[in-house]
Amino acid sequence: MILGMKQLFDIIGERESFDFEISPDELKERVFSVEFASPLAVKGEAYNRAGVVFLDFDCRFTLSHLCDRCLAEFDREYHFSFEHICVRGLSSNDEHIVVTDNSLDLNELAISDSLLQLPTKILCREDCRGLCYVCGQNLNEGECDCS
């Protein structure tokens, strides 16, 4: 979704709400490192307060994972909230979103923000025991006979 930002930058008090989904097919084309099990739902608002444009939105989605310790397959739902300040030109602050041509690609922003929030180690559960290093038995399912 492309958000037109001209009025948001020009009119103090202007607000624009959005609510959309990015399909798993589109996500598969853009993202190769993770597998989305559901659409990425994005809901939020952009608003101009005192001449500064703020962008607040939530993302909800489900990913299919392989556990990093036991290799079990599982799905996990995620919910993240994001806040940004949007600027028209160059900014010395790396946290600002630079908007060119008065439009912002919300799909790209929501995908990149969400991926950056994912944990680096994905476990099926917090107390995952992993695999036996000798026989490969999933120790979450039972003990092995290795000595």
Question: What residues does each domain of the chain span?
Answer: 2-117
Quickly count: other Cβ atoms within 10 Å of residue 1's Cβ. Answer: 15
pLDDT averaged over every residue in the chain? 90
Integer Cα distance of 88 and 7 in angstroms: 12
Average pLDDT over residues 18-41: 90
pLDDT above 70: percentage of residues in the chain = 97
Per the CB < 8 A criterion, the answer to whether 30 and 45 are in contact is no
Higher pLDDT residue, 31 or 72? 72
Q: Which helix (H) or strand (E) element contains residue 35?
A: strand 35-36
Per DSSP, the three-state class of 114 is helix
pLDDT 10s digits, 74-119: 999 999 999 999 988 766 667 788 888 889 999 999 999 999 999 9
Model's pTM, two decimal places? Answer: 0.83
pLDDT bucket at 42, cuts 50 / 70 / 90: very high
> Residue 30: in which H helix or E strand, if any?
helix 24-30
